Amino acid sequence: MPGMPGDDPRSRVGGVRWYHTIDFGQGLVTAGVDDSAYRLARLDFPPSLDGRSVLDIGAWDGFFSFEAERRGAARVLASDWYSWHGPGWGKKAGFELARTILETVVDLIGLRRPAMAFYPERQLNDDPTNWWGPNAAAVHAMLRAVGFARSRSVTPQPSAIYRGLRAAAHHLKGKNEFHLAFRQDRMVFHAEK
Residue 118 pLDDT level (bands cut at 50, 70, 90): very high
Residue 160 lies in a domain: yes
Whether the pLDDT of residue 41 is over 60: the answer is yes
Same domain, 138 and 83: no
> What pTM was estimated for this model as a whole?
0.55
Nearest to 79, CA basis, from 93, 92, 98, 97? 92
Domain extent, residue 171, equals 102-192
Using CB atoms within 10 A of its CB, is residue 15 exposed (0-12), middle (13-18) or buried (19+)? exposed
For the chain, give the longest Cα–Cα distance: 52
Q: How many domains does the chain have?
A: 2
Whether the pLDDT of residue 3 is over 50: the answer is no
Q: Which one has a higher pLDDT value, 175 or 36?
A: 36
| pLDDT (0 to 100) of residue 155 | 66
Residue 2 lies in a domain: no
CA triple 22-27-30, angle to 5 deg? 30
Q: Are 93 and 16 spatial neighbours (Cβ–Cβ below 8 Å)?
A: yes
Same domain, 107 and 181: yes
Q: What mean pLDDT, rounded, does the chain reach?
A: 82
The side-by-side arrangement of strands in the sheet containing 185-192 is 101-106, 185-192, 150-153
Nearest to 139, CA basis, from 178, 186, 84? 186
Q: Are 60 and 68 spatial neighbours (Cβ–Cβ below 8 Å)?
A: no
pLDDT per position as a tens digit, 144-171: 888 888 887 766 677 888 889 988 998 8
Residue 116 pLDDT level (bands cut at 50, 70, 90): very high
- Dihedral angle sign, alpha carbons of residues 91, 103, 71, 163: negative
Q: Are 135 and 180 spatial neighbours (Cβ–Cβ below 8 Å)?
A: no
Residue 109 lies in a domain: yes
Same domain, 81 and 148: no
Same domain, 132 and 81: no
DSSP β-bridge partners for residue 134: 116
Tell me the CA end-to-end span of the chain in Å, nearest whole number. Answer: 11
Please report, as a single letter, which amino acid is at residue 96.
E
Whether the pLDDT of residue 4 is over 50: the answer is no
Nearest to 135, CA basis, from 70, 191, 187? 187
Same domain, 74 and 134: no
Task: Determine the number of helices (DSSP H) and then strands (DSSP E) in the chain.
Answer: 8, 7
Which among 75, 99, 123 is the end of a domain? 99
Neighbouring CB atoms inside 10 A of 154's CB total 20
| pLDDT (0 to 100) of residue 90 | 64
Residue 30 lies in a domain: yes
Radius of gyration of the chain (CA): 17
Same domain, 20 and 83: yes
The mean pLDDT of 13-31, rounded to a whole number, is: 86
